[in-house]
Structures are given as structure tokens and as C-alpha cells.
Chains A and B, each alone.
Chain A
């Protein structure tokens, strides 16, 4: 049985992927689970794995090609299996791009001779001949736009076809009508504007918190079936959301508090005034002299003890969040979710953008755990090697531009998180302490708060606690 290799949705938001590198050649023996290619998604470079056994018979995409999710990339089949219809249907889907739309019967005579129209025509003829028999998946790609009559009353498979039904109004030799803008995207899920999903798959997706939108169905006509939900879990893809959801939604790990009327009114009025997220900013200047001294001392102890200011801030924020759960929250529209666990994301600049890998349970990590993990995450983020599970599921985010010489900035909240802390650079400044002018290491931080969830005083108290940890950094080590 032939297996179609399609561009899969490997991240929750992926709509298109670039085939970076083929890992297998045509003719290679393939086992289910083998890595076929590397695919660059909008977030990372991921592995595309085989979903069937056989020989890699045909590669249909070149390295460097970008293809929409669902595009047929290759065919795995038995060595002697005829895959013309599968490869042909890919060509057929692309045909309208080559041969512009002309379903009008008058134009038929010329167009019928065009080679580009042939696969589509053959497919249609086949559809007419077997129209009452449920069609196999490999045929079904074109089915959505040419629904055979009597689909619901088909006799058993393997049964001889009934007397052919009257020819459909569309002449059998006409090429398939153009699909969308003629892209090579398989038409099935889009044709009706509705994703087909088996009832069971729909239920499982709901239970697991998987978004169906990110999944490419492998059933007839692109139907999402049980195995697609199971595979989604295994390969990341839409399951990232599920893994994150699982992590965040474990019973007892959070407390949902329904909105009170006053909270509702505050939310509504503030949102009206200030855009979708009514944000306010709290700026404070911390004394980082001791933190700097601590860094120096630790560095002198050896490389394995080295920590960065960023590590110190993350640890301080994590501990402060533990004391201020009202800040460790998500705004969910009809309720605010307060988390018992603390997952701190850190913004990492990557080429063309940024990504926020997460330090899970950061409050329970030692400073050195955080340091090692943060370095690893940042490195892999820049290499685009993070898995979706590693950059989703945060309860709070820290963004640091200190290393770029920025004194102070405001960060944009990553919804549904309720807050984000922006860290500026540490620099020497003259400050007055007990009436004396002294030179101290100072650090300016700005917290952006979603006012619907966090009030000014709440944020301020949280920052006060963070200040306590940063200014007394031994508390972060003990």
C-alpha cells in the first residue's frame, strides 16, 4: 500500500514549510518512523518522519522548496507498486495552474489534447466509473471538488460497480475546475471550506486539547482520523499545544477564579481605552552591586559556577512569582487562571525574530540549573532546534536587552500571560545612600502588566519582592 508523504503541520501555527534537506534518496528502503527530511517551520527546523513502510519511490519536492501544509512531497510504496495515479493526482491538482480555467464545454476540444489536462481527465473518468464505490484515499484527493453521486449508498468494497449513473453534468473529459489560485495545495480540506474529521477524532482532539486546525488528515478526502490525532501527539505539531496544555492544565496546578463584576468592568473599560490588552508599566531601578559582586566571586570559583545577570533575574522573578501568585496568571477572557507552578519564559533573539523558550518550574531550579538550561535553550533557539514543547507553556516572561546596551525598555505582553518583565543593562551610576554619594551598579527593570488581571499595587508589590531578591542575591543561592 502506498503512503503519501505530505508537508505536515509541525508547529501549532505552521502553514507552510521549507524542505531544508532530504535525508533519504529515491530507492531507499523506508521504515515507518525513519526521518525522511528536515523541514524548516516558522519556528524551528524539524524532522519529517515516514508514516509507512516501503521504498521511497518518488520525491516530488526539491531541497529549498517551500510548500503549504498538505502538499504531497514524496511517495513511499512497494518496489513494484504502480504509483502513477498518486503522482499523477499531484500533477492533476497542479494542472489548472498550467492550463488556465476553461470548464466551458466549447473549449473542450482543444483542451482535451493538452497533456496537462490528461491526469485530471483520467481521474475524472475513473470517478465516473466507480462513483458509487467509496474511493480509496489515494483517489480521494480530487474527490472534494467532484463529489460522485450516491456516495452514501455505496455497496461493499470489492463489489462490482453498479450500472454507471447518468453522466454528471460536467463533461467527463473536462479538466478539473481550478482550485483556489492554482496552487499545488491539495484541495480536499479546503474545497468545502470545512475540515472533515471523524467523530472519534473530534472527540479525542477535544479531550486532549489538540487544535484540529494544525493537523493534516490522512483519511479519505483529507479526513482527520484517530491515527492523525495520535500522530499529532507523537510528532509535536499541533500537539505542542496539547503538551503545553497538559502541562498547564494538570488538575490542582492552578486555580480558576471567575471574574467578579468589578473585575469585568475594569477589564472592559480599560480594554476600550487601551487596545486589546490594557497595559500599564512599572519601572524600578534595582541596586545590582551585590549581584555583580556575587557574579565575580562565583566566576572566580570556576567556570561551572558562572552565572549571568539574566540567570539571577530569572531566579529572582521565579521566587517572587511564588510569593505573588496573582502575577503568575493568564487572562482567559471569562476568567483569570492563577498557576501554582512557575514556568518562566525568556525571550531569545534569533535571526528574523525572537522566540521564548521556557524554564519549567523555574522556582525549583538552582541558580546553576537555570544558568545551564538557559544557555542550552538560547543556543538551540538560535540554531532553530527547539521543539514546540520547549517554547510553549510559560506562565510569565522575562525579556532582557541589557546586553545590547539598553538602559530601559517596555516589553509587549505575550498573551494570555498577564505580565512580562523587561530588563535593562547593569551600569555604574552615582547614587545617594544615607546622604552619601556613592557609585553603585544599577539595573532598571520595567514590568508590563495586563491591567485586566493585575492592578498597579499588585505589580508594585511583586516588583518589590523581585528587588529584595536581586539586591540580596545570596537569597537566590541558599
Chain B
């Protein structure tokens, strides 16, 4: 199997879907001539031309709306946001138009479109450009929200997203683009709404998604040296959430830590903990703990930024706490 970067896996998915279905097109800031701000669309303008790979002005609300209209008349747009921080300007189109049109038209208009781009913090991009939005978006009925953490999932889920007839929010990561992993060639589809047990252990469940999957895997390696074996449940999709996969794991380990990139209050972890207390009450030997960004705007200073982010150390401490080891 080929080893690809997360970035190349996305490019491969885009290329294959653009080839497979000529209703699919990509638009966004710098996606065409500049090959994408993060080079995800590299080479696509040359291959598919300016009708399918479309540069837009710096008008998030505008081109998101164009995407909604295109989807309503039968095209399958992929709208790239340079980052999800900029997508705040387009949220009316995402939340009020894309997510609701199928419902409010009585099913007359499908909304087969994808909103994609990097989400969450990179390094020292400061408070306005270091935010993880998945819990905002997962809050909205009518949207599907995908958060691949590995190159293989990035490819497989993007293909599923493009083929889905509903508006799909696809959250990538600047810090993920250069990560590498084995990616199946060709028709590799990861179904929406299905979590994956990325590591198996009996002692504790770590439930996570997106970029934090890498942290969880590192934690699993570190703890294995101490004889602690954890389940790493990668949700992959945060709406809809694979509750069954969570329950299966927690019922086995009797304890859980929920790890996410975003803030604590009303974060994805809040929802996961709710599922756990409902589905696994009699299986719990300890309260479920959460690891997340500190409840502050992301600091710019390097040391403070590091202290504010969720990381392996905090995750290990939480795991030991729910195992009553500290």
C-alpha cells in the first residue's frame, strides 16, 4: 500500500471524484492558480480546467452561497475554506441554507455539497486563527461533520462526503497535512458515522477524533511501556456519532477519557460523556474525564500556547486518574 501524506491523500480523493463525476467541482480562495493555500488542490487546475477548479474572491459568505445554489440545481460543489476560522463569515449559508434547504423544501432540493478546510490550532497563529469548530457545526441538524485523523481516513471520508446527498462539513488540520500513512489505492471508501478502534487495550477507553487521534496513539505507545493498554476509539465522524462503538469500548474497559482539541464547555466531549453515562452507567468504575483546550482564547506565546493545548501528558494524567493509579 502506498504511503502518502494526509495532503496527498486528500488530493487523490479530489482527483478521483472529479474524474468519476463531472458534476463535482472545487471552488475557494487560491484553490486554482495557486494550487491551494495548503496545496491540497495541487495540479487540479491543469487537469480539470477553470470551470471545475474555481478561484473565488475573498468573500466566504458569497462563494458559500454560490455553492448552495449550485447544489440546489444539481451540481456537487466542494467549497474550500482557507481555514474554518474564516468560515465564520459563511456560517449563515452553512447553517441556514445548506443545512435546512432539504428540510424546508419538503425534500425538493437535495444539498450534495462539501465544505472543507483546516480546523483547529496549528502553531502560534494566535487566538483568532487557532480554533476548533466541530462542536459548533455538529450542533446543527442537517449537517454531517467529518474529522479524519489519518491519511487513509482523509481519503476514504472525503470520497464519502462528495458522494453524499447532504451537506457535509469536512474538517482537516494544518498540522495533519504533512503526516504520513498507508492509503489504499483507488476506490477506498470510509463510511460516514462509523468509528474505528485504532488501538486495542483493556484498561481504559480514550475516545477522540481528528488531530487528537495522533496524540492518543502516542499516549497508547507510552502507556504500553508501563503495562497500561488503552482502547483508542477514533470517532472519525462527530455527527452522527457512533455511539455503539463508544459503548462497546467502555463496557469493556469500565472507564473512559474523552480527548478533543476544542474547548471544554459544550465541546464534543460533553456529548460523548452524555452518551456514556446513558449507555454505560452500570459499567463505569470511575467518572469519565475530559481532556481539551484550556478555557481561554489561544495564547500567542509559545509556552502559553503549549500549556493551553490538550496533549499527551494531560491525557496520561487523566487515564491514570480514572484507573485510580495516581
Across the interface, name the chain B residue whose C-beta is closest to A225.
B285
Sorting the interface of chain B by its residue count into under 10, 10 to 19, 20 to 34 or 35 or more gives 20 to 34
CB of B284 closer than 8 Å to a CB of A: yes
In the bound assembly, the distance between CA atoms of A153 and B283 in angstroms comes to 21
Contact, CB under 8 Å: B284 / A199? yes
Which of B139-147, B176-184, B231-239, B310-318 lies at the binding interface? B310-318
A-B pairs with beta carbons under 8 Å apart, 11 shown: A136-B321, A137-B324, A156-B289, A156-B292, A156-B315, A156-B317, A200-B283, A218-B324, A219-B286, A219-B324, A220-B324
Q: Is the interface of A mostly helix, strand, loop or mixed?
A: loop
Chain A residues, CB < 8 A from B281: 199
Nearest CB in chain B: distance from A139 CB, A = 11
C-alpha spacing A157/B324, complex, angstroms: 13
Partner of B321, one of A134, A201, A226: A134
Q: Which residues of B are found within 8 Å of A227, using beta-carbon distances?
A: 324
**Would you give the 0/1 interface string for B256-285, flagging 1 where the beta carbon is closer than 8 Å to chain A?**
000000001000000000000000011111
Knowing A156-B318, A157-B318, A200-B285, the reply to whether A162 touches B290 (Cβ < 8 A) is no
A341 to B225, CA, bound (A): 50
Q: Which residues of A contact B307 (CB under 8 A)?
A: 160
In Å, the complex CA distance between A136 and B323 comes to 12
CB pair B286 A155 closer than 8 Å: no
A-B residue pairs, 10 tightest by C-beta: A158-B317, A200-B285, A156-B291, A226-B285, A157-B317, A158-B314, A198-B285, A203-B282, A156-B314, A199-B282
What's the count of A-B pairs with C-beta under 8 Å? 66
Establish whether residues A155 and B264, one from each chain, have CB atoms under 8 Å apart when the complex forms. yes
Are A155 and B317 neighbours in the complex by a CB distance under 8 Å?
Answer: no
Contact A200/B317 with A155-B294, A162-B295, A225-B324 known, Cβ cut-off 8 Å: no
Residues of A within 8 A of B290 (CB): 155-156
Q: Is A104 an interface residue (CB 8 A)?
A: no
Would you give the shortest CB distance from B61 to chain A, in whole angstroms?
A: 35
Is B249 an interface residue, CB under 8 A from the partner? no
| Residues of chain B contacted by A159 (CB below 8 angstroms) | 294, 314
20 new A-B contacts at CB < 8 Å, known A160-B307, A203-B283: A1-B325, A134-B321, A136-B326, A137-B324, A156-B290, A156-B310, A156-B314, A156-B317, A158-B317, A160-B294, A198-B284, A198-B286, A199-B282, A200-B282, A200-B285, A202-B282, A219-B286, A220-B324, A225-B285, A225-B324
Q: Contacts of B287 on A, CB cut-off 8 Å?
A: 134
Q: Per a CB cutoff under 8 Å, which of A136, A158, A199, A218 touches B313?
A: A158
Q: Within the assembled complex, what's the spacing in Å between the Cα atoms of A153 and B288?
A: 11
Closest chain-A Cβ to B249's Cβ sits at a distance in Å of 14
Q: Give A203 to B284 CA distance when docked, in angstroms.
A: 10
Which A residues lie within 8 Å of B326 (CB)?
1, 136-137, 157
Q: How far is the CA of A219 from the CA of B286 in the complex (A)?
A: 9
**Cβ contacts under 8 Å, A202 to chain B:** 282
Question: For the complex, what is the distance from the CA of A219 to the CA of B282, rounded to whole Å?
Answer: 17
Query: Which chain A residue has the least Cβ–Cβ distance from B290?
Result: A156
Contact in complex: A200, B310 (CB < 8 Å): no
CA gap between A38 and B289 in the complex, in Å? 39
